[in-house]
Amino acid sequence: MTGKKARTVAAAFAASAFAASFVAAAVFADEPYVAYDYDWWAETYPVQNGYIVDRVTTGADLKIDGGLRNPSDLFIYDKTGEIYIADTGNSRLVICDSDFQNVREMKAFRYGEDFRLDSEKIGERTSLNRPQGVFVTEDGNGETVIYIADHDNARVLACYENGDVWMEYTRPSSDLYDSGVTFNPKKVIVDNAGNVYICIKSITRGAVMFSEDGLFNGYYGANRVEKTFNAMLNYFLKFILTREQMERRTRPVPVEFSNFTIDKDNFIYTVTEAKSADLDVLKKLDPAGRNVFAKQGYDDMIWGDFNSPYVHGKSYKSSIVDVAVDGKGDIFLMDATSGKIFQYSYEGELMFIFGGIGEQKGLFKTPNAVETYNDKVYVLDGVKNSVTVYKLTEFGILVNEAMGLFNRGLYAESRGPWEEILRRDANYYMAYIGMGNALLSLGEFKESLDYFYMHSRGGYNRAFKDFRIDFIRRNFNNFLVAIFAVIVVLTVLSKLLKRRKKKKALATAAK
Amino acid sequence: MVYDLNLPAWKWPFYVTRHPIEGYEDLRWKKGYNMKVALVIVLIFFLVSVAQSLMTGFIFNTSQTKYFFVVPYISSTIVLFFTWVVANWSLCTLFNGEGTMRNICCVSAYALVPYLASVVINTAASNVLLRTEEGFLSFISVVGVAWSFILMVSGMKAVHQYSIPKTLIAMFFTLAAMVVMVFLAVLLVVLFQQVFVFFYTIYTEILYRIS
């Protein structure tokens, strides 16, 4: 095809696609964002939407005095499905059920009978001051306990549903806690053993960890130090400079993580908001504090947007403000820069990207928190004062089903869903890897190779290993015959050559 | 063993490859230099590098681009080769080297043979090997590069009639000269662009005045 012809064809194609999009817009209520995926070269292309907007509930819709004012955290208690919103501007908690009904607030607290720290305080009243984080779990007696990161009061409150405070975590007096550092809790989580982890913005050494009884246990899960120029310079100067000189240089510190969550197996997920951070944007920490996601393969994984454009002096690099984990272990990251939510499987494979910045339903101004419950995704917007709920599309349900089978290792069973996904959207990247694995486990090596090609080098390698062994086994007889034939031909040829040489030598000698 | 050195021109590269120490002296003595053979080898150098990027197995191929573009391959083979030849000639004529441009070109091209062979073998083998067997590929490529390097040193030594230290020093400064050449070429292009822009602005200015 000549260039000109190709161009006219392409133009006609584009025109028809344009017309088709109008038709589509007339029939369906399209989402205000375009779902996309990355190909082998990390370039984007559109795919089908996995999530669409289910509902948007603003503070006014909740029918509570004051509505919501700059809320900064959202928590959904798995057991009851109740939604807890840290209503920062109104200095209270707003609680409702998963349908946004039965709305109530928690504003007044009192130190209960079993307050563990100071018996003189029992009965005293207390209130919140700009709380920024909330966490709900149950204690040993099966009673629901609420932990509130009471930011401006520099404490974390632990209370029951009726507002009786039984524990208060305040600034540790230990030497380990630097004297110049404030204690303004931003987020709080609690593990199965009752240990309390508090995320504080001014601390780069990780989360502050308390035992249930308020004993300061040190820090947990700091990020690694970025390999900046200064850090590398320090590394070399260490050999030259004296200790005194070294101490005067600024010491490189890791970027603090800004938010975290905990899953049912007690793995803690931390995210780093700072755009300067390339390392440890998302960590999955085991109880010993090791990062499960560090250095898989040769490079660290990239979380959020692959491409970080720099336009008009402003960086549009992803800035992950919150993380949520669902029952299957899927990870949801909230990117404040682009307003997008990134869904990853528990192995870190990208599944869906949805959301965006804007005014319409399904877009955000300052997304602050993301949660997931019953396959729905809840996003809290601190400026719109709203909670946006996303639900799965049919395509999304298929992908979740396939991915669930895939991650449980049921490759053969996942073949059907993957095929259906590819029928609906031949662009969906993970489907090729899923199909490759399915066909590999079914013994169809050649087809498996085709699916893995340009999608997964590791998968291709595995498939090729089986393909090669299978190929040699199948053709073993032919190989034997071929080798035998080559040996015969070579010996005959060499004998013939020798004879000819002898003849030549004789002839020259005769001359 | 006695060798019949009345070889046809196309056999000389292989003879030289098999005799890295004395081969080039024989070549010089027999005046086996042949530009046609040399140019064919350079062409093969180019083709092989393209084939390497396009045909290496998926498991080992790290240079797959979405859209293939041939110019980088031309500049990293043909242009690179002739830059080397010109730089070496301009340097060594000043330092009592006996090689002519033609001879240097032939000698350098003949020295590429083991490297090219290793690339061809690797490209083929990468389609049947697994990731765990990567060692074979790196072994072959190391052997190919080392052999070619030895041939290049030996060839430079023979063609200029240098001692080995002098050859190595000359080769090092040839690399430096290549960098200078590339720098000057880039400078030239940029400056000519400026000149072009200058004349183009004059042209547009005149156009506005007239209309």
Structure tokens at A466: 């089986």
Phi, psi of B37 (to 5 degrees): -60, -45
Give the span between the Cα atoms of A494 and A490, in whole angstroms.
6
Mutation choice for A interface testing from B67, B126, B131 by most A CBs within 10 A: B131
Cβ contact A267:A283 at 8 Å: no
Please report, to the nearest 10 degrees, the dihedral formed by the alpha carbons of residues A87, A88, A90, A91 taken in order: 100
Question: CB B59 to CB A41 under 8 A?
Answer: no
CA-CA-CA-CA dihedral for A7, A10, A12, A18, to nearest 10: -140
Amino acid found at B25: E
pLDDT band at B80 (very low <50, low <70, confident <90, very high): very high
Residues 6+ apart with CB under 8 A from A210: A169, A172, A195, A196, A198, A216, A217
CA distance A496 to chain B (A): 22
Question: Between the CA of residue A379 and those of A68, A73, A165, A327, B169, what are the distances in Å?
Answer: 14, 9, 29, 18, 67
Give the N- to C-terminal CA distance of chain A in Å, as an integer: 67
**Amino acid making up residue A120:** E
Best B58, B61, B127, B134 residue to mutate vs chain A (most A CBs within 10 Å): B58
Which stretch of A311-320, A351-360, B192-201 has the lowest confidence by average pLDDT? Answer: A311-320
- Average pLDDT of the residues in A232-256: 87
Q: Which residues of B touch A453 (CB under 8 A)?
A: 58
DSSP A347: T
Encode pLDDT of A272-322 as tens digits. Answer: 998 888 888 999 999 888 898 887 655 678 888 888 888 888 888 899 999
B-chain residues near A460 (CB < 8 A): 58-59
Show Cβ contacts of residue A388 under 8 Å, excluding neighbours closer than 6 positions: A53, A55, A56, A361, A362, A364, A378, A379, A381
Q: What pLDDT is stored for residue A428 in this prediction?
A: 93
How is residue A297 annotated by DSSP?
S
A464 interaction partners in chain B (CB closer than 8 Å): 59, 130
Query: CB of B23 within 8 A of CB of B7?
Result: no
- Report the 10 Å Cβ neighbour count for A281: 26
Structure tokens at A442: 């079914």
Give residue A51's pLDDT. 95
φ, ψ of residue A23 in degrees (nearest 5): -60, -45
Count CB atoms within 10 A of the CB of residue A130.
18
Q: Which two tokens stand for residue A134?
A: 């909330």
Nearest Cα neighbor of A352 from A55, A29, A44, A47 is: A47
Which SS3 state, helix, strand or coil, does residue A145 take? strand
Collect all residues with Cβ–Cβ distance below 8 Å to A12 and sequence separation of at least 6. Answer: none
Chain B residue closest in CA terms to A43? B66
The total of other beta-carbon atoms located within 10 Å of residue A318's CB is 24
> Which band of pLDDT confidence, cut at 50, 70 and 90, is reported for residue A400?
very high
Residues of A in contact with B66 (CB under 8 A): 41, 43
Residue B1 binned pLDDT confidence (cut-offs 50, 70, 90): low
Tell me the H-state helices in chain B: 12-18, 23-30, 35-55, 71-74, 80-92, 101-111, 113-125, 134-160, 164-210
Q: Distance (Å) from the C-alpha of residue A285 to the closest C-alpha of chain B?
A: 30
Which residue has tokens 């998302």?
A282
Which residues, at least 6 apart from A478, have a Cβ–Cβ distance to it below 8 Å?
Answer: none
Two tokens, residue A379: 């996003």
Please tell me which of the candidates A41, A460, A468 has its beta carbon nearest to residue B58: A460
Phi, psi values for residue A354, rounded to 5°:
-150, 165
**Using a CB-CB distance cutoff of 8 angstroms, which residues of chain A are in contact with residue B130?**
461, 464-465, 468
Task: Pick the range with the lowest mean pLDDT from A86-90, A311-315, B100-104.
Answer: A311-315
- Taking residue A275's Cβ as centre, other Cβ atoms within 10 Å add up to 17
- A93: CB partners within 8 A, 6+ apart: A84, A85, A86, A87, A105, A106, A107, A128, A131, A134, A146, A148
CA atoms within 13 A on the CB side of B11: 8
Q: Kindly report the length of chain A.
A: 511
Residue A5 has pLDDT above 50, yes or no: no
Segment A61-68 shows an average pLDDT of 90
Cα separation, A424 vs A394, in Å, equals 10
Which residues on neighbouring strands pair with residue A332, listed in sequence order? A324, A343
Count other C-beta atoms under 10 Å from residue A424's C-beta: 16
Among A45, A433, A451, A464, pick the best mutation site for testing chain B contact (most B Cβ within 10 A): A464
Task: With residue A94 as reference, give the H or E element that holds it.
Answer: strand A92-96
CATH of domain A44-393: 2.120.10.30
CA B43 to centroid of chain Cα atoms: 10
Residue A17 has pLDDT above 70, yes or no: no
pLDDT value at position B86?
96
Pair B66, A41: CB distance under 8 Å: yes
How many CA atoms lie less than 13 Å away from A463 in the CB half-sphere? 29
Tell me the two tokens of residue A422. 């590819």
Scanning every residue of chain B, which has its alpha carbon at the shortest distance from the alpha carbon of A39?
Answer: B66
Q: In the structure encoding, which two tokens stand for residue A370, read together?
A: 């993301």
Residues in A touching B62 (Cβ below 8 Å): none
Position A195 confidence tier, pLDDT thresholds 50, 70, 90: very high
Place of tokens 């939604």: A83
Determine the Cα–Cα distance for residues B211 and B206; give it in Å rounded to an integer.
Answer: 9
Distance CA A35, CA A54 (A): 16
Q: Do A468 and B128 touch (CB under 8 A)?
A: yes
Q: Is the pLDDT of residue B170 over 50?
A: yes
Q: Is A26 exposed, middle or buried (0-12, 13-18, 19+ CB in 10 A)?
A: exposed
The per-residue pLDDT for range B104-130, each reduced to its tens digit, is 999 999 999 999 999 999 999 999 999
Sole residue written with tokens 């547009």: B204
